[in-house]
Amino acid sequence: MNKRERLETTVAGGAVDRPAIALWRHFPGDDQRAADLAAAHVWWQQTYDFDLLKVTPASSYCTEDWGIEIEWRGGDEGTSAYGRHIIDEPEDWLKLPVLDPGRGSLAMAREAVRLTCNALGPDVPVIMTIFSPLAQARHLAGPNLLPHLREHPDMVSAGFDVITESVIRFIESLADSGPAGIFYAAQWADPQHLSRDEYSQFGRAYDQRILHAAGGFWFNMLHAHGLGVYLDMFDDYPVQAINWHDREAGPSLAEGAAILPGALSGGLDRWTVHRGTPDDVRREADDAIEQTGGRRLILSTGCVTMTNSPLSNLRAAVG
């Protein structure tokens, strides 16, 4: 099977020649320039030959044009530290302009996708990371988000409408760049942050609008980020695959298979890949295949692979 055939058969629940696999990571420093970010992803793909490649820009790429700043200070995960937030008062949600995907950080990220797709060609499915409005809002408002959300929901909703429109315009602008789809990172769908009702109002409602806008792509993946996520709330999301922290927090792949349609992305604990041995990685991969019967499985970690994980462990995952 080629990569597309393997993924489409996996989504449909059919028998594949081998389980699909994909790992992704940050590229700090290189994620500030389109050519360098694309070159890093091309190297990553050519080294490990994954069945799909997730483009992973700095998480701030979608908020920098509103004034968010970051600083790279080092760290295993490869994420940068955020500076000051820009929403202090509830009325500040009403001041957000809709962003132009042809300018600033959004334009840089779009160019990185185009360069990556052009370099790898049509045989490698590429998906671009898109952060949900909630995921963006937590950086825009910092500690103000929860009190604003609960005490001034109308103003927050107005701001989320602007964020959503900005995301949709960016997704639409990707169409000519060649990606197979998007990797939609949803955050705060867990009891540590929001109730189910709150996530329905401030998460799900906007998620659905964005994912329907991405419906023209053939492979979209949802990443349900967090510990103890409300996984059943995603069972009707219009995506081909769902990725979550199955090893770190559950539910397991087997439990997820009973809840979700489509492909299940997981099976490897990123901390096993980072701190374990190649044999440990192989054991988790074998267990993931046993849990799923080798069907509907995209072998991956539940979140980003660390930037400095042992290369032998990465080779064990793909081997």
Encode pLDDT of 133-184 as tens digits: 999 999 999 999 999 999 999 999 999 999 999 999 999 999 999 999 999 9
pLDDT for position 232 = 97
How many other β-carbons are positioned within 10 Å of the β-carbon of residue 318? 16
How many other β-carbons are positioned within 10 Å of the β-carbon of residue 175? 11
Residue environment code for 277-312, b if the CB has 16+ CB neighbours within 10 A, otherwise e: ebebbeebbebbbebbeebbbbbbbbbbbbbebbee
Is cis: bond before 179, omega within 30 of 0? no
pLDDT for position 154 = 98
Kindly report the CA angle at 205 between 181 and 259, in degrees rounded to 5?
Answer: 70
**Bridge partners, residue 298, by sequence:** 20, 265
Domains defined for the chain, CATH in brackets: 3-318 (3.20.20.210)
299 Cβ partners below 8 Å, 6+ apart? Answer: 19, 20, 21, 22, 266, 267, 268, 285, 288, 289, 317
Choose among 203, 130, 193, 213: nearest CA to 160. Answer: 203
pLDDT for position 267 = 98
C-alpha 28: how far from chain center: 16
Residues of the chain where predicted confidence (pLDDT) is lower than 50:
none
pLDDT for position 244 = 98
Choose among 217, 125, 203: nearest CA to 174. Answer: 217
Convert 272-289 into a string of H (helix), E (strand) and C (coil).
HHHHCCHHHHHHHHHHHH
Whole-angstrom CA distances from 96 to 118, 134, 258 are 34, 15, 41
pLDDT for position 282 = 98
* pTM to 2 decimal places: 0.98
pLDDT for position 275 = 98
